[in-house]
């Protein structure tokens, strides 16, 4: 039975990936320092004999896991609210943490998947964003710690692929949402849902015309499993290409929660991208993957989760 390590395995996306790997008959070791991950996300796996959680800081090394066939490297704080208070931690896991994880993959002759981000495109001047777009990133801006950490991790990954012949893949993950997001995550959907459920004013930063494209977490995980099957080398975007304005998503959430919350505007944060939408050509052609979940269906499932934990 293959064993896979998932760094950040107690996090939002990582814990869903752990579930899917276990469902498909694999052994899984989740490695997480619980800085932004949560034991609640994997609490249902306590009696699962094929699952192990190791609390460990990857900036200090990598735990000794025997017979690992692959490493999914998802570890990193990823919310804009973390970019200042956890700036050093983000930089350390995106540099030292990636080095430690990929060195361990090399030692075990294991496949290595680097979970990168749409943030490598910065505030894009090309729309939608294809994988060969080199981006428009401000390295000294507030978001630079996350953007550059991920860009550096991609460089590490390709360096080991080219020089050490390690089997590697890079996924660039666009806005993902669903159950197990932190209520205080700071990103659009959990913010809006939390505020709407409490009857508080729903805060839109800017005038709400900036756009995003939201991918439901189950679809994203299906894409990650396609990476496991195909093991492509070239970076591939995973996300949803259906664009929606921030104001529209706020109105949709207020409607789905039957909330009486009003929408209010606040100044746009520094470096907030005007638009973000993936070109999914490679995902479709190389992986045979496209997102399937309707936005309203995914939002309702996410709202139900937030209701349950409030």
CATH number at residue 268: 3.90.25.10
Residue 140, Cβ density class (10 Å: 0-12 exposed, 13-18 middle, ≥19 buried):
exposed
- Same domain for 249 and 272, yes or no, is yes
Residue 234 to residues 157, 245, 265, Cα–Cα distance (Å): 11, 30, 40
Identify the weakest region by mean pLDDT among 86-90, 98-102, 262-266: 262-266
Rounded Cα–Cα distance for residues 221 and 208 (Å): 29
Identify whether 67 is part of a domain: yes
Q: Are 88 and 66 within one domain?
A: yes
Q: What is the mean pLDDT of residues 134-143?
A: 96
Q: Does a structural domain hold residue 284?
A: yes
**Helix count (H) and strand count (E) of the chain?**
9, 13
Looking at the fold, whether 219 and 300 belong to one and the same domain comes out as no
47 plus 156 within the same structural domain:
yes
Instruction: Let me know if 165 is exposed, middle or buried by CB neighbors in 10 A (0-12, 13-18, 19+).
Output: exposed
- Residue 246 scores a pLDDT above 90: yes
pTM score, whole prediction? 0.96
Q: Is residue 81 part of a domain?
A: yes
Domain count across the chain: 2
Q: Are residues 11 and 24 in the same domain?
A: yes
281 and 206 both lie in a single domain: no
Instruction: State the pLDDT at residue 269.
Output: 75
Rounded Cα gap, residues 10 and 252, in angstroms: 29
Residue 51, φ and ψ in degrees, nearest 5 = -120, 140
Q: Flag whether 93 is in a domain.
A: yes
253 is in which domain, residue-wise? 188-210+243-276+296-309
Residues 153 and 206 in one domain: no
Residues designated catalytic: 146
């Amino acid at each position: 039975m293959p064993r896979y390590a998932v760094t950040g395995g107690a996090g939002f996306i990582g814990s869903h990936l752990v579930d899917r790997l276990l469902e498909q008959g694999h052994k899984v070791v989740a490695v997480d320092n619980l800085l932004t991950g949560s034991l609640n996300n994997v609490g249902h796996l306590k009696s699962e004999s094929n699952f192990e959680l190791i609390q460990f800081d990857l900036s200090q090394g990598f735990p000794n896991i025997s017979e690992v066939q692959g490493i999914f490297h998802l570890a990193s704080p990823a919310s804009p609210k973390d970019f200042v208070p956890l700036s050093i931690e983000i930089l350390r896991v995106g540099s030292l943490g990636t080095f430690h994880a990929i060195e361990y993959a090399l030692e075990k002759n294991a496949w290595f998947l680097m979970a990168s981000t749409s943030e490598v495109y910065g505030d894009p001047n090309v729309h939608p964003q294809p994988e060969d777009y080199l981006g428009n990133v401000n390295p000294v801006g507030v978001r630079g710690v996350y953007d550059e950490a991920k860009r550096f991790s991609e460089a590490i990954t390709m360096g080991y692929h080219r020089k050490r012949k390690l089997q590697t893949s890079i996924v660039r993950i666009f806005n993902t949402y669903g159950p197990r997001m932190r209520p205080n995550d700071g990103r659009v959907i959990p913010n809006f849902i939390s505020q709407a459920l409490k009857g508080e004013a729903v805060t839109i930063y800017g005038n709400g015309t900036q756009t995003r494209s939201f991918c439901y977490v189950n679809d994203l995980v299906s894409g990650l499993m396609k990476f496991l099957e195909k093991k492509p080398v070239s970076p591939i975007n995973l996300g949803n290409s259906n664009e929606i304005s921030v104001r529209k998503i706020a109105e949709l959430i207020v409607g789905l929660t039957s909330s009486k919350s009003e929408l209010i505007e606040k100044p746009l944060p520094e470096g907030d991208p005007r638009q973000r939408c993936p070109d999914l050509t490679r995902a479709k052609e190389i992986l045979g993957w496209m997102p399937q979940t309707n936005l309203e269906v995914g939002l309702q499932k996410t709202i139900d989760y937030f209701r349950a934990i409030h």
